[in-house]
Amino acid sequence: MSSTNISSRERVLNLFNGRTIDRVPCFSGMGNITTAGLKSLNYKFATVHLDAKKMADAAATTHKYFGFECGVVPFDLCVEAEALGCEINVYAHSEDILYPTIRKKVIHNEDEMELSIPENLHEKGRIPLVGEAIRLLKDDIGNSVAIGSYVLGPFTLAGQIMELNDLLKLSFKKPDRVGRLLDILTEVIIIVAKEYEKAGVDYITVREMGATSDVLSPRVFKSLILPYLKKIFERISVPSVIHICGKTNDIAPFMVESGARAISVDQKNDVAETRKKLGKDALIFGNYDPYNVLVAGTPEIVREAIKRCIDDGVSAVWPGCDIWPTVPEDNFRAMMDIIQEYRR
Amino acid sequence: MVTEEKKGEILERLKKAVIEYDEDAAKDAAKEALEVGVDAAEAIFNGLVKGMEEVGRLFEAQEYFVPELLMCADALYAGLDILKPHMKKLDLGVNGSVVIGTVEGDVHDIGKNIVKMMFDVAGFTVYDLGRDVPLDKFVEEQLRTDSDLVCLSAMMTTTMVGMKTVIDKLKAKNPNVKIMIGGAPVSQDIAEKWGADGYAKDASNALKDAINMISSLRKMRDEAEAKKASK
């Protein structure tokens, strides 16, 4: 089979499976819908989080419009927290693009950290809705591209369900107590990931940006966070990615040690150095700046940034965070074009 | 009258309490400072703030991370709460008030609170709008309080673009207001592009920037008045 004929889906799956591929794919494990896509569907941003069909439709547009090599749902970071009883705000009043946030947390004091997992968690909140969206998305574009979803990492999820301020201080003062909460949340995350697997996702990203080295020391990352990440990746059956933004050079080896198939880093990571440190076989996804390059840049700036990622040795060209929806169409196309042309 | 030696010892204890995030030690040293007659402003600036400066250095050197920073801030406030009521109005050459908040869509307020702390220390009147603040609220509050300075914070790329909207609206209503933006995804480049007057990479820069901005604002006013007078 000629390599140019393989589908994006095969390319991505081959990459995860360690096979040789013709070029680096250009995809993401995080949200990537665009206002161009939303406009074509006539959907308001605030509505796509609450309706499986709208969610799937919106997620498919980035591939249909620009040839982006994946489809990913959901788009917000509140699914697990909501299933645990937090109240979310989707900013229904707003015409602007505002991602849902947690309005009411479930842990208000130290005692409430002894959380019990709701029965039938997999039926709570929007977990079934995201599962349904995965199925619809798979029916729609699943033959052409890999379908992904994401869950939060345990520390980041803890920061959603209790005051981050308290969590951070306790992670220093009472790491055992925080550890117990992370252990419970690890179970939660596994339950959610299993639902998404059942719905048919091809890969799952675990987003643990709360544990970035901008916030937590690499030492605390290793002692407090890493053991739970290992537990999670042991249980995820499909190809997996660990994503952490901000400073990650010092913890990149721990990210690999977590057992994730690939690591995802943002523009603050020196990928050339990370590549040297981790060796040629490690899957490193990254690391263009989704706002300053893709939205605020020009097609020329985009091309240069993407070349730089490839030169530095990324295994996949992949954004440092969610793609900001207002990305200019010319910039997106410039990225997809340079991927075809440029080789390291 | 307190001896220089005793004063030095108390200032050192205040500094150390902040660095070692020891709230009780900060309280004890602050109380003793007042008892023996150390000037409250001096205790704040040459004790607590000195400690916070060292914390800033440790943070930069990646010896301290955010959890430590938060605990140091708690220790600083523990001392500040005791000392501040006894502080004579500071003559920093500025007499500012500031509206501060995290923009709508963003519920992270740790960075904002650190910056706020520096304004509290410097004797600013702080109107803290909290987090997830609707954009128009910043404009309303600035008009209501006639503050010299508005500080906007965003922790995430996905929310920082709201800051541009606020800057445009504020400048349209009141071209003289100074605007400072900060947060992890913000850069000098973005601050310039969006027309912000200042950009705070971190809390220690924020205070310096804030004082510079207010000074330049006063200068502008003085110049305008001098012009009026010469006519």
Shared domain for B142 and B215, answered yes or no, is yes
Burial A72-111 (b: 16+ CB within 10 A, else e): bbbbbbbbbbbbbebebbbbeebeebbbbbbeebbbeeee
Q: Select the residue from B20, B24, B65 to test the A interface by mutation, using most A Cβ atoms within 10 A.
A: B65
Shared domain for B119 and B222, answered yes or no, is yes
Shared domain for B182 and B101, answered yes or no, is yes
> Which residues make Cβ contacts (< 8 Å) with residue B147, sequence separation at least 6?
B96, B97, B98, B99, B125, B127, B141, B177
B55 belongs to a structural domain:
yes
Tell me what pLDDT residue B118 has: 80
C-alpha to C-alpha distances, B173 to B44, B138, B170, B177, nearest whole angstrom: 36, 12, 5, 9
Given CB atoms, is A30 within the 8 Å cutoff of chain B? no
Helices marked H in B61-104 — which ranges?
66-83
The model's pLDDT over A194-244, given as tens digits with 9 standing for 90+, comes to 999 999 999 999 999 999 998 999 999 999 999 999 999 999 999 999 999
Q: Could you tell me the maximum CA-CA distance found in chain A, to the nearest angstrom?
A: 61
Chain A nearest C-alpha distance from B125 (Å): 24
Q: Do B158 and A99 touch (CB under 8 A)?
A: yes
Give CA–CA dist B145/B125, Å, rounded.
10
ipTM: 0.90
- Three-class SS state of A245: coil
The model's pLDDT over A120-173, given as tens digits with 9 standing for 90+, comes to 999 999 999 999 999 999 999 999 999 999 999 999 999 999 999 999 999 999
Using an 8 Å Cβ cutoff, are A75 and A48 in contact?
Answer: yes
Q: CA-based Rg of chain A, rounded to a whole angstrom?
A: 19
Tell me what pLDDT residue B115 has: 84
The domain total for chain B is 2
Q: Do A99 and B67 touch (CB under 8 A)?
A: no
Instruction: Give the count of beta carbons closer than 10 Å to the beta carbon of residue A162.
Output: 25
Q: Do B190 and A292 touch (CB under 8 A)?
A: yes
Q: Which residues of A touch B66 (CB under 8 A)?
A: 168, 214-216
Given CB atoms, is A35 within the 8 Å cutoff of chain B? no
Q: Which residues of B touch A326 (CB under 8 A)?
A: 161
Q: Do A324 and B105 touch (CB under 8 A)?
A: no
- Three-class SS state of A262: strand
Shared domain for B166 and B68, answered yes or no, is no
Q: Do A220 and B104 touch (CB under 8 A)?
A: no
Using an 8 Å Cβ cutoff, are B214 and B149 in contact?
Answer: yes
CATH of the domain at B192: 3.40.50.280
Nearest to A98 among B68, B70, B104 (CB): B104
Q: Which residues of B touch A207 (CB under 8 A)?
A: none
In total, chain A counts a number of residues equal to 344
Q: Which of B34, B57, B86 is the last residue of a domain?
A: B86
Q: Which of B86, B110, B142 is the last residue of a domain?
A: B86
Nearest to B66 among A97, A215, A291 (CB): A215
The model's pLDDT over A34-78, given as tens digits with 9 standing for 90+, comes to 999 999 999 999 999 999 999 999 999 999 999 999 999 999 999
Q: Do A220 and B185 touch (CB under 8 A)?
A: no
Shared domain for B107 and B159, answered yes or no, is yes
Question: What average pLDDT is seen over chain A?
Answer: 96
Give CA–CA dist A34/A62, Å, rounded.
7
Chain A nearest-CA residue for B159: A98
CATH of the domain at B67: 1.10.1240.10
Identify the domain containing residue B30 by its residue range: 4-86
Using an 8 Å Cβ cutoff, are A146 and A202 in contact?
Answer: yes
Shared domain for B78 and B113, answered yes or no, is no
Instruction: Give the count of beta carbons closer than 10 Å to the beta carbon of residue A295.
Output: 19
Give CA–CA dist B190/B213, Å, rounded.
18
Burial B149-186 (b: 16+ CB within 10 A, else e): bbbbbbbbbbbbbbbbbbbeebbeeeeebbbbbbbbbb
Nearest to B108 among A164, A291, A324 (CB): A164
Give CA–CA dist B10/A323, Å, rounded.
52
Shared domain for B103 and B65, answered yes or no, is no
Shared domain for B82 and B149, answered yes or no, is no
Tell me what pLDDT residue A188 has: 98
- More confident: B212 or B200: B200
Q: Which residues of B touch A168 (CB under 8 A)?
A: 66-67, 70, 110
Among residues of chain B, what percentage have pLDDT more than 70? 85
Orientation of helix B23-36 relative to helix B4-19, angle to 10° = 160
Mean pLDDT of B26-47: 94
Angle at A157 between CA A228 and CA A148, to 5 degrees: 85
B144 belongs to a structural domain:
yes
Q: Select the residue from B66, B114, B192 to test the A interface by mutation, using most A Cβ atoms within 10 A.
A: B66
Q: Do B187 and A290 touch (CB under 8 A)?
A: no
Give CA–CA dist B118/A274, Å, rounded.
36
B91 belongs to a structural domain:
no
Given CB atoms, is A300 within the 8 Å cutoff of chain B? no
B119: pLDDT confidence band, cut at 50, 70 and 90?
Answer: confident
pTM of the full predicted structure?
0.91
B56 belongs to a structural domain:
yes
Shared domain for B164 and B63, answered yes or no, is no
DSSP state of A279: -
The model's pLDDT over B57-70, given as tens digits with 9 standing for 90+, comes to 898 888 999 899 99
Chain A nearest C-alpha distance from B171 (Å): 20
- Three-class SS state of A152: strand
Shared domain for B82 and B102, answered yes or no, is no
B39 belongs to a structural domain:
yes
Q: Do B67 and A96 touch (CB under 8 A)?
A: no
